[in-house]
Amino acid sequence: MILSLIIPCYNEEKSIPLFFERTERVRLQLKVDFEYWFIDDGSQDQTLSYLKRLNKQHEYVHYLSFSRNFGKEAAMFAGLQVSTGDFVTILDADLQDPPEVLIEMVEKIGLENVDCVAARRMNRVGEAYLTSLGSKAFYFLMNKMSRTPVVDGVRDFRLMRRQMVDSILSLTESSRFSKGLFTWVGFSTEYVSYPNEQRVSGSTKWKFGNKIRYAMDGLINFSEIPLNFVTYSGLLMVLMTILAIIVLVIRQLFFHHSVSGWTSMVVILLFCFGFTWLTLGVIGKYISTVFLEVKKRPIYIIKEKK
Ligand code: UDP
Ligand code: MG
C-alpha cells in the first residue's frame, strides 16, 4: 500500500522543513510507504531549491515545479495527476493541516464503505472576525443556492481512495472549485475534526480579492440560481413596466395629468439602470466562465519534474 501526499507550496521555504520533519514522524508511526509530491506553484523564494535537496536525500520525495503561479487549485490538480498511490491525501505546507490527523484518517478509511476521510475544523480560532463572518456567509449561500453542498469548516485536506481520485481527475474543467468537485463526484465521506491551527511561518497567500474570487467561482460553477434570479426578476421588471405604461397613458389621455415631480422619475431610472448593470454582471460572470472553458487552456504548465 502506497500513500501519496500532495503538498501545494507557494513561497513556503520556511514551512517546508518543519512540515517534512513532522510528517516523517507520522510516516514512521504509520508504517506505510509514503510518496511525497511537492508542487511548487511558481514560488519566488528558495522553495524549489529546498525541494530539490529533499529529492536528492530521499527517493520517495518528488517535486513538480510550475512555470509561474497558477493557484492552489491548479497545484492540487497537478498533484492528483502525478500521484500513483492507492490512497492520496492533500495537505497544506504551512502545517495548518496537522499531519498527525492522518493517523486517524488512515484508520477510518480502512473501514468498509468509506472512500474518503475529510478533515474539518471545529473552530476558527485565530482567524480575523471579518474573515470568519465572510466564510460563514459564503457557506450559507453556497448551501442554499447549490445542489452540491459544502460542509462549513471543511478543508481540502482529505484522504481518498484511488477510485475517487480518478473520478476527480475525469473532471477537467479549468475553473476548478475542489470543495465542490469532491462532493459532486459522490462516494461516502467521513469527517474527522480538529481545532484550527495557525500557520507555522510566512503569511497567508489569500488576499481579500482572492477570497471573493474563490467564493464567486464556487457559486457560479455550482449554482444556476443567480442566473435564474436574473431572468425572473428581469421578467418581473418588464411586466411591471408594461403595467405602468398603460396606467400612465390612460391617466394622460383621460385625466390630462401634467407630468410633475421628476424625483420619482429619477428614482425609477436609477433603479432600472442599477438593476440592468447587476444583471449584466451576473450574466457576464457565467459567460466568462464559458469563455475560459471553451479555450481549453491547460490548467498549469510544468517547468520541472522529478
Ligand atoms: N498555495 C499554492 N498556490 C497559491 C496559494 C497557496 O500552492 O497560489 C498553497 C500554500 O503554499 C499552502 C496552501 O496552498 O500550502 C494554503 O495556502 P494558505 O496557507 O496561504 O491559505 P490559508 O490556509 O490561509 O487558507
Ligand atoms: Mg494556510
Using the 8-state DSSP alphabet, how is residue 87 labeled? E
pLDDT of residue 276: 85
Tens-binned pLDDT, residue by residue, of the chain (306 aa)? 899 999 999 999 999 999 999 999 999 998 889 999 999 999 999 999 999 999 999 999 999 999 999 999 999 999 999 999 999 999 999 988 899 999 999 988 887 789 999 998 887 777 788 888 888 888 888 888 888 888 888 889 999 999 999 999 999 888 888 888 999 998 989 898 888 777 877 788 777 888 888 888 888 888 888 888 888 888 888 788 788 778 877 877 787 766 666 667 777 777 787 788 778 888 888 888 888 888 888 899 988 888
CB atoms within 10 A of CB 296: 8
Residue 167 identity: S
Q: State how far the Cα of 87 lies from the Cα of 163, in Å rounded to an integer.
A: 9
For residue 91, the ligand 1 atom closest to its alpha carbon is 15
Give me the sign of the Cα torsion angle 247, 250, 252, 254. Answer: negative
What is the best residue among 94, 155, 158, 300 to mutate for testing ligand 1's pocket, by most ligand atoms within 8 Å of CB? 94
Rounded to the nearest whole angstrom, what is the distance from the C-alpha of residue 302 to the centroid of ligand 2? 23
In this structure, the residue with its CA closest to atom 2 of ligand 1 is: 72
CB atoms within 10 A of CB 101: 20
CA distances to 13, 134, 167 from 174, rounded to whole Å, are 28, 25, 16
The H or E element spanning position 232 is helix 225-255
